[in-house]
Structures are given as structure tokens and as C-alpha cells.
């Protein structure tokens, strides 16, 4: 389009100066967001009519969360400081195809709601490794608990803290990275150590709401600054405005949606203690399902809240020094004082929500999967104390490790693909374990302890050393099929597992028929099948619209 039609606000070095009013808004928000969760969680614990142990109260909030808290906490846990910065910057650089990870989450959550969550809640477990013990044996539990703890500490939490520190240093370049990391970690740990999952869920609900409002404000401000929607299309081009990319695309080939994005999504949303713990604390199966549905609907809005502003920025700013400054530039150029403080508070909220969830997940695994199994006579009070100590230890480890990521820029870039090599065996074990009662404990354990180390080796050889040219999303598909074959072969030649042990934890068609009869009298707006259908139809509509 002619340059006269484009309003260009280009600046080579954006001015990210935080004023007094904005700083006051940020500080006020941080203070309130530390106090409110502890107060609300304390009152909720007193009003809980369920008979629960101290460990249930601390690690699962007394299993009494209603669906809005479950849904908002799922969203907050999924978001980090990089949600604002990363999605907007990624859209500016790559286009709206990065929305694939968001809309695929809705598909994965539908699978979770229908086929996986009922078995988790039926088992009454605290952790997903514990579920593997009930379905298989202690070996599978220990193998997966070790991996989950490693992933939480050295991938999820360290990366979240590092990304958050980068955001802080964008605003305050003179702040040492370790100070930024430590400050963010301590902010997240204050209510996690004291209040457990109950305080985390309340905090996450507040953070998610503020983050969504913040994203909406930035979207509206960016939209109002645009000369026209046609200008967006003309500046971005067809490829950056398409959700579906060619199979040879280096970033997100369309077959990779099935071979990789789906597999990674199934790991993250259905087998990761960090995320699933929110639904384990739901008041009932219905509340767990409705909460997951709420999260799925919110994930679909990320296209408008975080991704389209990045694409629209192509029309407004054409020579930014880095895609990572797109979001801060939109905030500081388009929003008035005060509102900028709210958005920055939302960024900090997103960072701390991710970190507090990881801390709680790590402490739960350490306490319930390691300490309680090794010392089963430990009292409830002792387990809670252990959980608090584990939270502090996890905090210290993350603070020490996170700054080192800065020295390995290529490694940090590869962290986005490392899960493609590590998680396919996990997904296969859980899905096959629930879907086929013939899968044996030996097959599950062998698949985990053999294929995950091999996946790490493949990651180092392919992604780090570059010995083979293979798109990482395709690697995930290869790993998943290999895991399915290993599970099938070892189970087929092994002895049949105890069917009494597997009976309640594997899928049966009679479950579906029985539930169908119960749902006949359920109001439409409370029927999870109807609501899931609406969510999936909305997903298809968005994909087709932007395909």
C-alpha cells in the first residue's frame, strides 16, 4: 500500500521510562496481590465443609475449587511474562501461525475433559506420578516423578524466571539479571510457601483476570491506531496472515500440528503435574471439566489479545531493533500514564503466576512422591512442613540456575524444541495406560527409562550438533510412534496385568453409556459435551477464517 496511508511510529530505540504514577500502580498491585490470596484462601479453608487432611488442604486446596478458579488458574499457569512479549514479538516476526499452540490447546483440553480427567479424579491421587503407580507400579511412578521434577526446575521455572528478568531489564537495564530473577521468585514464593495451592489458585485467578484485561486494552489501543484492516493485510502479507503454513516451513509446517504441536500439547495439558494439579483440586468432576472448558475458551481469545497486536505493529513500526520490544513499544507509545502501569503489573502478574504454580508443583512431587513413599509414617503436619521446605529449596535452585541460561543463548532457543524429544514417551504411557488395560507395568517403565534418555541424545545430536536436518515437530511424531510400538510389543509378550488393579483406571464403553443416561436430564448450559462441542466449533471457525 502507498506509504502515505500508513501511520508509522517508528523509533529505533524505544523509550521505556516508567513514571511515578505507573510505578505506584505496579507497587500497589503487587502488595494487594500478595495479601488477598492469603486472606481468601484462609477463609475458604475455614468454610470448607469437606473433611480433609492438612496435606489435602496445602497441596490440593482441600479439593474444593469451583470451576472459575480452576479455569482461570489453568490460564494463569500457562501464561508467563513471555506471553505478552513472546506472542506479540513472535507474531511480528513469524505471523499469526504461532496461534497454533493456542488453538490446539482447546483441542487437547477436549480430549482431557472426555477421556483423561475422569480417571485422574476417580483415582483420588495427589500427583500424576502417583497415578502411574496405581495404574502400573512404583517404578513408573519414580521414573516419571524424577522427570517431572527436572522439567519443572530446570526447564519450566528457570526459563520463566529468565524470560521475566529480560522483561524487567528492558525497563531497567541497570538491574543485574540475578537481582531481577531473585525478586520475581521471592514475590511468587511469599504466598506459595504460606498458603499452598489454595493461595496459588486465588492469586492465579486475579493474575489471569488482570492479564486478560491488559491484553484487551493493548488490542483496543493498537486497533484504534491502525489506518485500516486492509493495511494490516497488505503490510503483513498472505503468509503472515495465515494459520496454516506449507510442509516445508522451517518454523511451523502444517503436518507438524499433528506430529508435534498435538503431542506437546497433550503432555503439557494432560500429563504435566504443573497444570493438572489445578483440576485435581476441583470440587467435583463437573467443576474440573467446566474449569478446563473455561481455559479452552480463553486460550482462543489469545489470537486477539496478544497475537494480532503483534501483526498490526508491522504497520505501525517498521524498523524495531528486535521483535521482543514490540509489546513494550505498543504499551509505551499508545497507552496513557496509569494504564501503562496496569499493563506492566499484568506482565509481572503473569510471571509470578507461572513461578508460583511451578513451585507448588515441585514441592508436591518432592513431598508426596519421594518423601511420603520413602517415609510413609510421616504425619500430615510433617508433610506440609516438608512441602514448604521443598518450595524454598526449589526457589533457591531456580534463582541460581536461571541466570546461567543467559550464557547459553542457543540452548535457551532450543528449550522450545527440547520437549519434542523428551515428552512423546510420557504421552504414550498415559494414553495407552488409560486406553488399553493390557499395557503392563514393565512396558511403561521400560518405555520411560529407555526412550527419554534416547530422546535427550537425539536432541543433542540433531538440534545442538545439527548432524541431521529434522524439524523438531516431526521428531515428536517419530518419538510418539516409537513409544507406542515399544509399549505394544513389550505388553504383548509379557504377562497380563492384574485386571482388578486396572479395572477402574482404564477406559470402558460402559462409562460412556452410563454417563449418557445421566446427561439426559442435565441442563444444556451445564452439559460438558454440548459446551465442548461449542468450543471445538469455535476453534474450527477461527482456523478456517484465518487459514
Work out the pLDDT band at 321, boundaries 50, 70, 90.
Answer: confident
Per-position DSSP letters for 204-235, written without gaps between them? HHHHHHHHHHHHHHHHHHHHHH-S-HHHHHHH
Average pLDDT over residues 236-253: 83
Higher per-residue pLDDT: 61 or 127: 127
Which of 272, 259, 270 is closest to 354 using CA atoms?
A: 272
pLDDT for 5 equals 36
Higher per-residue pLDDT: 524 or 322: 524
Average pLDDT over residues 108-137: 92
pLDDT of 388 higher than 90 = no
Q: What cell numbers appear for 60 in the block?
A: 490440593
Domains, the chain, in order of start with CATH, read 16-45+53-405 (1.20.1730.10), 408-507 (no CATH)
pLDDT of 286 higher than 90 = yes
**Max mean pLDDT range (211-215, 284-288, 381-385):** 284-288
pLDDT of 231 higher than 90 = no
pLDDT for 4 equals 33
Report whether 546 contacts 241 (CB < 8 A): yes
Distance of alpha carbon 166 from alpha carbon 409, whole angstroms:
13
Residue whose grid cell is 444444556: 524
Work out the pLDDT band at 15, boundaries 50, 70, 90.
Answer: low
Average pLDDT over residues 110-127: 91
Distance of alpha carbon 422 from alpha carbon 151, whole angstroms:
10
pLDDT for 296 equals 95
Distance of alpha carbon 65 from alpha carbon 43, whole angstroms:
13
pLDDT of 84 higher than 60 = yes
Distance of alpha carbon 172 from alpha carbon 167, whole angstroms:
9
pLDDT for 194 equals 64
**Max mean pLDDT range (207-221, 246-260, 311-325, 425-439):** 425-439
What angle, 0 to 180 degrees and rounded to 10, lies between the N-to-C axes of helices 128-135 and 424-435? 50
DSSP code, position 495: P
Report whether 227 contacts 6 (CB < 8 A): yes
CA gyration radius, the chain: 23
Average pLDDT over residues 387-395: 77
Report whether 270 contacts 111 (CB < 8 A): yes
Report whether 59 contacts 221 (CB < 8 A): no
CA distances, 168 to each of 19, 164, 322, 329, 345 (Å): 15, 6, 16, 14, 11
Work out the pLDDT band at 57, boundaries 50, 70, 90.
Answer: low
Distance of alpha carbon 59 from alpha carbon 184, whole angstroms:
22
For 452-502, the pLDDT digits (tens) are 999 999 988 988 788 888 888 899 999 999 999 999 999 999 888 887 778
Q: Which helix (H) or strand (E) holds 161?
A: helix 158-171
Work out the pLDDT band at 10, boundaries 50, 70, 90.
Answer: very low
pLDDT for 62 equals 62
pLDDT of 291 higher than 80 = yes
**pLDDT averaged over the chain?**
82
DSSP code, position 375: S
DSSP code, position 13: S
CA distances, 192 to each of 133, 203, 358 (Å): 27, 10, 10
pLDDT for 193 equals 64
Report whether 75 contacts 349 (CB < 8 A): no
pLDDT of 104 higher than 90 = yes
pLDDT for 27 equals 83
Q: What cell numbers appear for 263 in the block?
A: 503431542
Which of 409, 346, 45 is closest to 198 using CA atoms?
A: 45
pLDDT for 408 equals 47
pLDDT for 24 equals 87
Phi and psi at 362, nearest 5°, equal -65, -45
For 148-173, the pLDDT digits (tens) are 888 877 777 777 777 677 777 767 77
**Max mean pLDDT range (25-39, 116-130, 527-541):** 527-541
- Stretch among 79-88, 229-238, 244-253, 351-360 having the lowest mean pLDDT: 79-88
DSSP bridge partners of 282: 65
Distance of alpha carbon 492 from alpha carbon 440, whole angstroms:
9
Average pLDDT over residues 224-245: 85
* Residues 6 or more apart in contact with residue 547 via CB below 8 angstroms: 242, 243, 244
For 419-464, the pLDDT digits (tens) are 899 999 999 999 999 999 999 999 999 999 999 999 999 988 988 7
Looking at the chain, the whole-number percentage of residues with pLDDT higher than 90 is 29
Average pLDDT over residues 183-205: 71
- Stretch among 57-66, 251-260, 325-334 having the lowest mean pLDDT: 57-66
pLDDT for 142 equals 92
pLDDT for 196 equals 63
Amino acid at each position: 500500500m502507498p506509504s502515505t496511508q500508513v501511520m508509522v511510529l517508528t523509533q529505533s530505540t524505544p523509550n521505556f521510562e516508567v513514571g511515578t504514577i505507573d510505578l505506584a500502580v505496579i507497587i500497589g498491585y503487587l502488595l494487594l496481590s500478595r495479601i488477598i490470596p492469603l486472606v481468601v484462601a484462609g477463609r475458604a479453608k475455614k468454610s470448607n465443609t469437606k473433611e480433609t487432611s492438612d496435606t489435602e488442604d496445602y497441596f490440593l486446596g482441600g479439593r474444593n475449587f469451583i470451576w472459575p478458579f480452576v479455569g482461570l488458574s489453568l490460564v494463569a499457569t500457562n501464561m508467563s511474562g513471555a506471553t505478552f512479549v513472546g506472542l506479540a514479538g513472535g507474531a511480528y516476526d513469524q505471523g499469526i501461525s504461532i496461534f497454533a499452540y493456542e488453538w490446539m490447546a482447546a483441542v487437547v483440553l477436549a480430549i482431557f475433559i472426555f477421556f483423561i480427567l475422569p480417571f485422574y479424579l476417580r483415582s483420588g491421587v495427589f500427583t500424576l506420578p502417583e497415578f502411574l503407580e496405581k495404574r502400573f507400579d512404583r517404578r513408573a511412578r519414580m521414573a516419571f516423578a524424577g522427570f517431572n521434577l527436572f522439567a519443572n526446575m530446570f526447564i519450566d521455572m528457570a526459563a520463566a524466571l529468565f524470560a521475566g528478568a529480560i522483561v524487567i531489564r528492558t525497563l531497567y537495564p541497570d538491574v543485574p539479571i540475578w537481582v531481577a530473577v531473585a525478586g520475581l521468585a521471592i514475590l511468587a514464593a511469599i504466598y506459595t510457601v504460606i498458603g499452598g495451592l489454595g493461595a496459588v489458585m486465588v492469586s492465579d485467578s486475579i493474575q489471569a483476570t488482570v492479564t486478560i484485561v491488559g491484553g484487551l486494552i493493548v488490542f483496543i489501543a493498537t486497533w484504534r491506531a491502525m489506518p485500516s484492516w486492509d493495511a494490516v493485510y497488505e503490510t503483513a502479507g498472505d503468509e503472515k496472515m495465515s494459520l496454516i503454513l506449507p510442509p516445508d516451513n522451517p518454523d511451523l509446517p502444517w503436518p507438524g500440528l499433528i506430529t508435534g504441536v498435538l503431542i506437546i500439547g497433550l503432555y503439557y495439558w494432560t500429563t504435566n503435574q504443573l497444570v493438572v494439579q489445578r483440576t485435581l483440586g476441583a470440587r467435583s468432576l463437573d467443576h474440573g471439566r467446566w474449569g478446563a472448558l473455561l481455559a479452552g475458551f480463553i486460550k482462543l481469545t489469545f489470537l486477539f489479545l496478544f497475537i494480532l497486536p503483534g501483526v498490526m505493529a508491522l504497520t505501525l513500526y517498521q524498523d524495531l531493533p528486535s521483535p521482543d520490544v514490540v509489546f513494550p513499544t505498543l504499551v509505551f507509545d499508545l497507552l496513557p500514564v496509569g494504564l501503562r502501569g496496569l499493563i506492566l503489573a499484568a506482565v509481572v502478574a503473569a510471571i509470578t503466576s507461572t513461578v508460583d504454580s511451578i513451585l507448588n508443583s515441585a514441592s508436591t512431587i518432592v513431598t508426596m512422591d519421594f518423601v511420603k513413599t520413602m517415609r510413609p509414617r510421616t504425619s500430615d503436619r510433617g508433610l506440609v512442613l516438608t512441602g514448604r521446605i521443598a518450595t524454598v529449596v526449589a526457589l533457591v535452585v531456580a534463582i541460581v540456575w536461571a541466570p546461567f541460561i543467559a550464557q547459553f543463548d542457543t540452548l535457551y532457543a532450543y528449550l522450545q524444541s527440547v520437549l519434542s524429544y523428551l515428552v512423546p514417551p510420557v504421552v504414550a504411557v498415559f494414553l495407552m495406560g488409560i486406553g488399553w488395560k493390557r499395557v503392563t507395568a514393565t512396558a511403561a517403565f521400560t518405555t520411560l527409562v529407555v526412550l527419554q534418555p534416547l530422546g535427550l541424545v537425539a536432541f543433542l545430536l540433531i538440534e545442538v550438533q545439527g548432524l541431521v536436518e529434522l524439524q523438531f515437530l516431526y521428531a515428536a511424531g517419530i518419538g510418539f510412534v516409537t513409544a507406542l510400538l515399544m509399549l505394544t510389543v513389550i505388553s504383548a509378550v509379557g504377562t497380563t496385568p492384574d485386571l482388578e488393579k486396572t479395572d477402574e483406571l482404564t477406559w470402558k464403553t460402559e462409562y460412556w453409556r452410563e454417563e449418557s443416561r445421566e446427561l439426559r436430564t442435565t441442563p444444556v448450559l451445564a452439559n460438558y459435551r454440548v459446551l465442548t462441542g461449542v468450543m471445538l466449533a469455535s476453534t474450527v471457525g477461527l482456523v478456517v477464517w484465518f487459514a
